[in-house]
Structure formats: structure tokens, C-alpha cells
Amino acid sequence: MQEIHIAGTGVWYPEDVITNDEIVSSYNAYVDNFNESNKDSITSGDIIALEHSSVEFIEKASGIKTRHVVDKKNILDVDRMMPSLKHEDESRLSIQAIAGIDAAKKAMDQANVTPADIDAVILGTSHNARYYPAVAIEIQNELGIDGYAYDMLVGCSSTTFAINNAYSDIASGLADTILVVNPEISTPAVNFGKRDIHFIFGDGCVASVIKKNSSSEKTFKILDRKLMTQFSNNIRSDWSYLARTATDHKTSDDLIFNQNGSSVFKEVCPLVAKFISEQLEKNNIKPEEISKFWLHQANARMINLIVSKVIGSDDFDTNLAPLPIQKFGNLASAGSLFSFNLNNDLKSGEKGIICSFGAGYSVCSILVEKV
């Protein structure tokens, strides 16, 4: 009988680390400068004074303690507050390709496959480095893989949606083995001058090998996939090539990542909990039979609330729902599989849920079993 497996995974993340103390110090210095420069307008009521951040605020709101980033120095520079990166250029590899190739090699090693075994590359991300040529094709070329490759975007569900596409291509007979790559260089999309989001994101990448009948040590059988989308503007980015032609003025800070965090929390938590519960019921699996919940690393409070709703109790071992967000921050679509890579020491027959959710809204849940 044909089975389709997650045969191996690999991760990449930059060396630079920003602590909460460091990011609060930078942000608060920016706030002080802004308020001083605009004190007359603030006094007259034309401008609202900015409010300080704090370590306590960040950890209560998100659970994040540190984040790995591509450029610590310039993110913390009060006069810049964003990474300093070069334009995409044909003379060098894309930053997403560099991250993706590193993670892909680790995933292929774990899966015991070579580039000659790979039939396709699917890259899923929340943030495309460019429109074309596809970064997936760049990675395909650098690794010496034949077949086809393409990029796709479904916000923070891009990783699980890409795995779903890989599964479908294999099930249809189009391919036997597919490399899925999910680079999330997110910090360039962050306005570090906004209190509600300046602490959220880190940078990282995860890759996976999806194949028929794997025999690798880390093999997980894909038992079921469930997907949904529901339109919402509560998480949105309008950054695109259309911006250069727009007649209504918006700054780049207006166009990059924006969210209504409280609405997302209130709407997405019950949505995802119900979604996972329905998937388990469909597969005749009780919540207590799930050994791990590898969820999108959006927010520690969201993860704990979703799991508590699924299992019917808020009294559970912290190992049930790992929180790499504490160290790495929100890694956009890479977070759920990042969690899986770092915490998949299950015994044969034990089951887990890999679930991503985010902008769209979009949700994809993959039920797996350790082989």
C-alpha cells in the first residue's frame, strides 16, 4: 500500500539574536525622540504621543523572549530600525535561496535522499523576495534538481499548504519525492516603530522532504489533511509592484505588515480549535490520543488556548504544545514545522497535529503518525 510520508526536515536561522531588553531599549529611545520632536503637536492634540514598550508587556502579550534576525545592528539602530539588505540581483543568490538551500540540505540528509531523488521543489512563504523568476527554481538550480519548481503564498499557512500540494502531486503520480522549502525573512516587513508589532517576528527557514514509502529514522506518515480559507483584512500587507503607480499616497510603513491583533485572537482561536476538533472526529481519534500539537508560532497565549479548547482542559503538560516562539519569535509560515523539527521525538504509532493558521484567514492541519 502506498503511504506518503514526511521523511525529513531541516531548519536554518541567523546567528544574530535580539533580546526583549534590547528591542525595548531601542523602541523606547525611538518613542522619546518622536515625542520630543512632536511635542507641540502632541500638546495641541494634533498628534497622539507614542507609548513606551516593556519586557513585561511583550512576554505577557506573546510569550516571546528572544528572536533570531538577519541584521541585529540596523534593527536596533534608532535612526534606521530595519535590516540593511541589498536588492535582489542576478549576480548573487537570493537571501531566501541561501536560507532555503541550507535547510533543504539538512532535510535531505535526514530523509536519506539526494538531489537526484527529488522530482520537484515547492516554496511556500508569507513574504516573497521577488516575483520572478521563482526562488524555488533558483534553489532547484543550485541543488541540481530536475523536474519542476514554483513559489506559492498563503500567508502564515504557506508551509502546510505547500506540504498539502506536495502530497497531492505525489498521490496523483506526478512525483515520488518533493522538496518543500519555507524561507521566512520576515523582519524587513516589520515596522519596528509600532508598539503592537515591533517585537513579534524573527527570521528563519524550514524545509521538508515529502515522499512515498520512506524508511528514514524520522519518518512520519501523513494520515489526513484539512484546509480552509475565510476572507479577512485583519492581517494584511499591500506591498507590491502596484505601489509605484498608486495616485493615493501611502508610505512603505502603511503598506507592509499590519494586523488587528485583538480581533485576530478572538476570531482565530475558536476557529482553529473547532477545525482541529472536527478533523480528529472525522478520523475517529480522541484528543487525548494526540501526543504533540505543533501549531503556528503566532503567540503563546493563542497556542495554549487552542490546545485547551481541543482537549477540553487548560491543565496540560507544556511538552504537548511546544513553544519555540519563546526563542525564535514568530517565524510566520515556518513556525509550525519549525516546532515539529525541534520536538518530534515520538514513538512508533504516536500521533501529532501540524497546524498553521494566519492571514487570509487560512488554516491547514496535517494529521501525522510516527512510523
Q: For residue 14, what are the contacts with CB-CB under 8 A and spacing of at least 6?
A: 68, 69, 70, 203, 204
Spatial CB neighbours of 365, under 8 Å, sequence gap ≥ 6: 160, 225, 226, 227, 275, 276, 279, 353, 354, 355
Distance CA 290, CA 292 (A): 6
CA atoms of 197 and 49, how far apart (whole Å): 17
Beta-bridged to residue 64, according to DSSP, are: none
Q: Pick the closest to residue 179 from 171, 187, 188, 170 (CA basis).
A: 170
d(CA 332, CA 152): 14
Which of the residues 156, 205, 269, 355 is marked catalytic?
A: 156
Return phi, psi of residue 362, to 5°. Answer: -140, 145
Can you spell out the DSSP letters for 214-272?
--STT-EEEEEEEEEE---SSEE---SGGGGG-SS---HHHHS-EE-HHHHHHHHHHHH
The Cα–Cα gap between 183 and 175 comes to 22
Q: Give the count of beta carbons closer than 10 Å to the beta carbon of residue 61.
A: 17
From CA 290, how far away is CA 297, in angstroms rounded?
18
The burial class, CB within 10 Å (0-12 / 13-18 / 19+), for 313 is exposed
Is 156 among the residues known to form the active site?
yes
Which three three-digit cell numbers place residue 169? 502531486
Asked if residue 30 has a cis previous peptide bond (ω within 30° of 0), the answer is no
Q: Report the relative pairing of strands 17-19 and 66-68 from DSSP bridges.
A: antiparallel
Catalytic residues: 156
